[in-house]
Structure 1
């Protein structure tokens, strides 16, 4: 197991910052690349389902969070300082912050398209 495969110890891990972040042409996911490694895809549906914002956390606690987000698209993405992405989705949700350290840990996991 490499150091990158371990759980992130800090949101501000400079080694976790990808060299490239690309929105797919269909807007159904992101592709992140670190160094000379193969690009890693992250599905929009899995990203939306894994949102940890306060609103989504409350929806989960109240058992009102959807089980799936079929057909969801990423409509906008923005850099948050130098450690994360803020993603906007086609259902109007735009509150989630996705740290690069979490993407990096998931990239080392067996299935990169699982929830980041």
Structure 2
């Protein structure tokens, strides 16, 4: 198998600062260009893409919320991602920086219904 020549990640997606705050309830990210975002621990837990969470979603066993969850650890993975551990014991998810940046931008965007032009 021949791999693409481009790097496997976007270096601009790597934040200059990543801080867990509010007792683990938030992950604050800051990028070199001045962009900042705060991701709630519950959002991160709900958006985990690990094999176990994916399986539970497919089997319709994935919880609809994780209201009291907190981030308990964040470990860098090869410069392109982080492994995030949660207070519910889940620590299998690898979150690429690009994915976290996309989640942050998704949260900052207005809801789709607000972007739809309305008839006068």
TM-score normalized with structure 1 length: 0.81
Tell me the equivalent position of 1:32.
29
1:77 touches 1:87 (CA, 8 Å); kept in 2? yes
Give the superposed CA RMSD.
1.9
TM-score normalized with structure 2 length: 0.79
Aligned residues: 104
- What is the CA–CA distance in structure 2 between the aligned matches of 1:11 and 1:100, rounded to whole Å? 11
- From the two aligned structures, give the one with the greater helix fraction: 2
Q: Which has the larger radius of gyration?
A: 2
Tell me the equivalent position of 2:38.
41
Higher relative contact order (CA 8 A, sep 6+): 1
- What is the CA–CA distance in structure 2 between the aligned matches of 1:85 and 1:63, rounded to whole Å? 26
Structure 2 unaligned blocks of 5 or more? 1-6, 110-120
Structure 1 unaligned blocks of 5 or more? 1-9
